[in-house]
Amino acid sequence: MKKTGQSIKFQEKISIASMSSIVGPMEGEGPLKNYFDVVLSDIMNGEDSWEKGEGKITADALALAIKKSGRKREEIDYIICGDLLNQSVSSTYGARDMGIPFFGVFGACSTIGEAMTLGAMLLDGGFAQNILVGASSHFCAAEKQFRFPLELGSQRAPTSSWTVTGCGAAVLSRQGEGPYITGATTGIIVDLGITDVNNMAAAMAPAAVETLRAHFKDYGAKPKDYDLIITGDLGYLGKDIVLRLMGNAGYDLSNNYTDCGIEIFNREKQKTRNGGSGCACSAVTLAGCFFDKLKKCELNKILFVPTGALMSQTSVQQGESIPGIAHAVVIET
Amino acid sequence: MKKTGQSIKFQEKISIASMSSIVGPMEGEGPLKNYFDVVLSDIMNGEDSWEKGEGKITADALALAIKKSGRKREEIDYIICGDLLNQSVSSTYGARDMGIPFFGVFGACSTIGEAMTLGAMLLDGGFAQNILVGASSHFCAAEKQFRFPLELGSQRAPTSSWTVTGCGAAVLSRQGEGPYITGATTGIIVDLGITDVNNMAAAMAPAAVETLRAHFKDYGAKPKDYDLIITGDLGYLGKDIVLRLMGNAGYDLSNNYTDCGIEIFNREKQKTRNGGSGCACSAVTLAGCFFDKLKKCELNKILFVPTGALMSQTSVQQGESIPGIAHAVVIET
């Protein structure tokens, strides 16, 4: 068994052979703008609907990850991909023309963590040589689906976050150089009763804390064993909750912890309130910024913990609280 | 490598330690009524909405599969589960209180095939001892979400199928007796341009044909190597398409092929038009009927091929065609 508690350690070196990132115009004006492969000038990406635009972003990011990996399309054994849209249509339409065996996954904004974990497991288990993983989201499509029509110009709650437009993808491989995925801690669903869809940070932070605690316990590790610990899209409010709850549990994250939702936007200039969110938030921030820093050995060991809120518009309208989940992935050079 | 083309063969014997099936009242009046563990008298399952009812069905079916397996909840390493509802809320709310690491999957009505394939891979790869898989759907929730409000009493198209209410779940294990999952062929996305949401059979059948052809080619197998080949929810129309297209390709399925959508309802008495569909269709038909026949060695080797249509209401309204997918799982005693 390669598993202890909720955590596994891989026996093979699972290379992240390439990562690709395509983002929308607003992400291209943020602090990470120089890290992304493609910054779209048109949030529709040349399509006639937001949903089709997101699907095209996914298709382009998946193809770009393959190209950057130096692999041929025929060498990719599986695609593992997901998004926020109903029935994950960005992923399925994005992967439709690729002719590669396809596994759809849903972990809301934790999706890239789930996809990387499953991908690394399938590679380590000997079922594939190369696996393409990805996750996408789109600000306009998400606002339309989960909140209000954009045309209403609704006022945003101070606790609300800004869904990142984009797709982050990666080719994982049994062969190749680092950075490597060396382990993972898969999250359980945590629901502390939050019902405010404008406060996803509060719904997801307890799940991140649960996964982080499980990880440190299973690994016998401490926060300082990592150069950086990075949650997915908790933003400023969620980071505060994680810092406090982890502190209470005896884990001091104050020196080496950040959140992708904080990194991707300039809070003051871009007025993104609590920060970035959406499946693409952690996916493009890893693919753009942190993957580059790992490649350059500015970082050598990170714990990447995408977070997701597993509700639907219907479940919230029916008075259900919002379950959260977080999946941790260990990435080393 | 354990992979040839799109197909894998497992090295370990992956036991299906248990299967559970909970179905709605109408499924309980069909030809398979005596096979199911639980037939609900109330399609709401005691909840105040269809969606919550489906979530409760999922929770109950997951718990029942664990109970029937003789395992304790703490012995289950992962849950892999999915459904048709927006953001897969039946699965996430159904698994919310279990405290087990959770992977959400989306393959529309092929979901149980995807979950069983991934589950068997994770077990064979040494990442788990026991994995709980499941898939659910609900007639009323699906009609509301994908088609028309039930209260309208809309006339059903002759090609339409009837979404099965229920959940089928299984505990897969590295230890235990048969039947065993011995292999799998993972589908690619196939889209031949069908845009009629009342004719899912036509959208999905080509994907089933693609997966079947890939399976026979990769395995060097013939249809007669199986006691029974079972697609997911193609119904009468889809079965005809599969028989014809496979026949054209040189594979005669006329003696040992059926479809879960045909098996689960009595077409004449229950007026289900093309037959049953939905994630639960193949999941409960396998869990109820075919698993029982495998246990009793009335069947010794089956090819189970759940099929899925990967569209959303939005994608169809925007004029997109309907991509299909099918995942084949080899089950032997």
Q: Which residue of B has its CA nearest to A100?
A: B188
Looking at the structure, tell me whether residues A79 and A195 fall in a common domain. Answer: no
In this prediction, residue B21 carries a pLDDT of 98
**Domain of residue B273, residue span:** 180-332
Do A160 and A14 fall into the same domain? yes
- The set of residues, in sequence order, having a beta carbon less than 8 Å from that of B159 and lying 6+ positions away, is B196, B198, B199, B201, B202, B237, B273, B274
Reported as a single tens digit per residue, the pLDDT across B252-276 is 999 999 999 999 999 999 999 999 9
Q: Are residues A68 and A87 in the same domain?
A: yes
Same domain, B157 and B13: yes
CB contact A87 to B (< 8 Å) = yes
Same domain? For A155 and A234 the reply is no
CB contact under 8 A, B89 and A52: no
Shared domain check, A110 and A62: yes
Considering its fold, how many domains does chain B have in total? Answer: 2
Mean pLDDT of A173-202: 96
Tell me the chain B residues in contact with residue A51 when contact means C-beta distances shorter than 8 Å: 314-315, 318
Q: Which residue of A has its CA nearest to B188?
A: A101
Residue B51 burial (CB < 10 Å; 0-12/13-18/19+)? Answer: buried
Closest CA to A91 of A113, A61, A122, A66: A61
| Percent of chain B clearing pLDDT 70 (strictly above) | 100
* pLDDT of B1 higher than 70: no
Domain boundary among A173, A192, A225: A173
Averaged pLDDT of chain B? 97
Q: Per-residue pLDDT for A1 more than 60?
A: no
Round to whole Å and give the CA distance between A81 and A271: 30
Residues B284 and B187 in one domain: yes
Q: Is B78 on the interface with A (CB under 8 A)?
A: yes
pLDDT tens readout for residues B65-124: 999 999 999 999 999 999 999 999 999 999 999 999 999 999 999 999 999 999 999 999
Domain co-membership, B161 together with B248: no
Say yes or no: A125 contacts chain B, CB-CB below 8 A.
yes
End residue of a domain, out of A173, A198, A216: A173
Tell me: do A153 and A193 sit in the same domain: no
Q: Give yes or no for A34 touching B (CB within 8 A).
A: no
Whether residue B132 is predicted with pLDDT greater than 80 in this model: the reply is yes
Confidence of residue A284 (pLDDT cuts 50, 70, 90): very high
Question: Which chain A residues touch B149 with a CB distance below 8 Å?
Answer: none
Beta-carbon separation of B87 and A86 below 8 A: yes
Residue A308: other Cβ atoms inside 10 A: 36
Give A137-155 pLDDT, tens digit per residue: 999 999 999 999 999 999 9
Residues 146-185 of A with CB under 8 A from B: none
Q: Are residues B100 and B217 in the same domain?
A: no
- Cα separation, A57 vs A63, in Å, equals 10
pLDDT at position A2 = 83
Bridge partners of A226?
Answer: none
Phi, psi (degrees; rounded to nearest 5) at A234? -85, -20
Extract the tokens encoding A58: 């996914």
- The C-alpha of B225 sits at a distance from chain A's nearest C-alpha, in angstroms, of 24
Q: Residue B85: which of A84, A98, A312 has the nearest Cβ?
A: A312
pLDDT digits (tens, 9 = 90+) for B293-331: 999 999 999 999 999 999 999 999 999 999 999 999 999
Judged by a CB distance cut-off of 8 A, whether residue A321 touches chain B is no
Cis link prior to A179 (omega < 30° from 0)? yes
Domain boundary among A154, A173, A192: A173
The residues in B 8-27 lying below 8 A from A, measured between CB atoms, are 8
Q: What is the CATH number of the domain that holds B226?
A: 3.40.47.40
In this predicted model, what pLDDT tens digit does every residue of B167-182 receive, in sequence order?
Answer: 999 999 999 999 999 9
Question: What was the pLDDT predicted at B2?
Answer: 83
Q: Which residues of B touch A48 (CB under 8 A)?
A: 318
Statement to judge: residues B49 and B138 lie in one domain: yes
Looking at every residue in chain A, the average pLDDT score rounds to: 97
Chain B residue numbers touching A315 (CB-CB < 8 A)? 51, 87, 89, 93
CB of B320 within 8 Å of any CB in chain A? Answer: yes
A312 and B89: CB-CB below 8 Å? Answer: yes
Token pair, residue B24, equals: 């709605």
pLDDT tens-place string over residues B198-228 = 999 999 999 999 999 999 999 999 999 999 9
pTM > 0.95: yes
Average pLDDT over residues A208-235: 98
Q: Is A318 on the interface with B (CB under 8 A)?
A: yes
In this prediction, residue B57 carries a pLDDT of 98
Candidates B104, B108, B124; nearest CB to A87: B108
The pairing of strands B228-231 and B38-39 is unpaired
Q: Is A188 on the interface with B (CB under 8 A)?
A: yes
Contacts of A52 in chain B (CB under 8 A): 318, 320
- Same domain for A275 and A167, yes or no, is no
